[in-house]
Amino acid sequence: MSHRSFRRFALRAAFAASLSLGLLLPVAQAGAQTVVGKWVAYSEKLDNGEANPFILTLKDDGDNKVSGTLEGLGFSIDVKGTVSGSHFELANPWEKDDKPFLVGDAANGELHFKFWSPEERVGKPFTPADAIKLPEYIAPPAIHPVPYNGLAKTPPMGWNSWNKYQGKITDAIVRQMADVMVSSGMRDAGYVYLNIDDTWEGERDSNGVLQPNHKFPDMKALADYVHSKGLKFGIYSSPGPRTCGGYPGSYGHEEIDAKTWAGWGIDFVKYDWCSAAKIYKDSDLQAMYQKMGAALQASGRKIVYSLCEYGMGDVGKWGPSVGGNMWRTTGDISDEWKSMEKNGFGQNDWAQYAAPGHWNDPDMLEIGNGHMTADEYRTHMSLWAILASPLLAGNDLTAMTPETKSILLNKEVIAIDQDALGKQGTRLSQNVDKNGGIDIWTRPLAGGGMAVGVFNRGGAEAKVSLKASDLKLSGNPKARDLWAHKDVAFKGGAYEASVPMHGVLLLKVGAK
């Protein structure tokens, strides 16, 4: 993934948090037919009390076109767009479509615009006092191996706060999720990590120790509560000076942060590149992730290390050597078919890097968040299991429907994901075009069997015939449908079935 591609995903996360606070985004001054200048807007303050500026700089490119940069505490991204008189539109930097993400008009030395909501925003002229200052540069360390920590011998399972709660996560919600992870059966099904994502951070004290903000009054007590439920506790940071949401990162404080987290009882750290891109090059990824990996190893506590670098820098080649247990291979997922489809079905080339203790991560689960069908969520769960991906739920566990529970708690599918052999599945065959089609994946399992996923990526129900010979099996092998929870029969060396639109046939085949 390119540097630019990474930033679009980091920014999406920051915007999601900021919009919930009523963000006033910056845009530029307009002349008769152009929009140029430097503007600033502030959302409400961060939960740690800090100001949260967003700065847009635009220049005139001629022919009614503009380009520039949009910057926040945790990101910087290139933007471009068009103007017509006092009206301007900026193209969506995250998607290759014609839909603008910011539309507005210049009036009275201000910009009045709408940004992904019907609420009008106002940008004001930038002043030097609004500038976002970067800390003094710290050179990356020399490359050296970090020993394997012995953890995550199967893909980590649990729950993460971001997909559902984003910047609204609190101590009370975490405790509530811990309770429901037990009462719903999720813990007993293997979902044991309860992870806080961004926006927990406060400010550093005189000794450089990062304190949680007012939403988390006692992180050690919260960790103790989570542990009392038989769960493990996770947290989030960045190798940059700021997280995606603009909160303090671990830049220059790696060792003290690792020791602080160990003292709280942290069991999992997600480490998100974000503002590190303002300071370091992509070629520095390994060194900077190594720096925190070494700090975690020296902390005195066993902590699962999750690298969130969006698939940049050939991470599969060096992820294990920095102490990583899992690493992102994609941009951020969203609760829609196209996003899940792109992330999941793009994993074939990553399979060679997966092994016990070290997993490819196409991002968290969206199951139960309401914007995909049940068939699409079953595809989501099945594909992640075939891929030996971490299973980190991201829904409101207190509002799970029976259907959502049946998907997340399907023990036969979970068993595929957690198979001890630790081999990621790969694509067997594909007959897919822009309108969809059939995509077949297989995963070898301990004991000699295999998981087979027949995915219908098309827009209508499809009849499929799965041949034993294509699986390099003879005769009529044993098979079990893991969603129907029943044994099924190959006849004449093939198994035939109907697969719904965006649905899946998930079989365990040839097991002894």
148 Cβ contact partners less than 8 Å away, ≥ 6 residues apart: 320, 323, 357
CA dist., res. 424 & res. 359, Å (int)? 9
Yes or no: say if 42 and 53 are a contact pair by the CB < 8 Å rule. yes
Is 272 catalytic? The answer is: yes
Q: What is the DSSP string of 340-382?
A: HHHHHHT-GGGGGG-BTTBEEE-----TTSSSS-HHHHHHHHH
- CA gap 370, 492 in Å, rounded: 41
Radius of gyration of the chain (CA): 24
How far apart (Å, rounded) are the C-alpha atoms in residues 131 and 40?
9
Q: Three-state SS for 176?
A: helix
Q: Which of 272, 375, 396, 419 is catalytic?
A: 272
Which residues are bridge partners to 328 per DSSP? 361
Q: Which listed residue (171, 197, 332, 417) is catalytic?
A: 332
| DSSP string covering 449-495 | -EEEEEEE-SSS-EEEEEEGGGGT--SS-EEEETTTTEEEE-BTTEE
The DSSP secondary structure of 37-64, one letter per residue, reads EEEEEE-SPPTTS---EEEEEEEEEETT
DSSP line for 412-447: HHHHHHT-TT-PPPEEEEEEEETTEEEEEEEEE-TT
Buried/exposed 376-415: b ≥16 CB within 10 Å, e otherwise:
bbbbbbbbbbbbbbbbbbbbbbeebeeebbebbbbeebbb
Residue whose structure tokens are 């044993």: 478
- Positions marked active-site: 272, 332
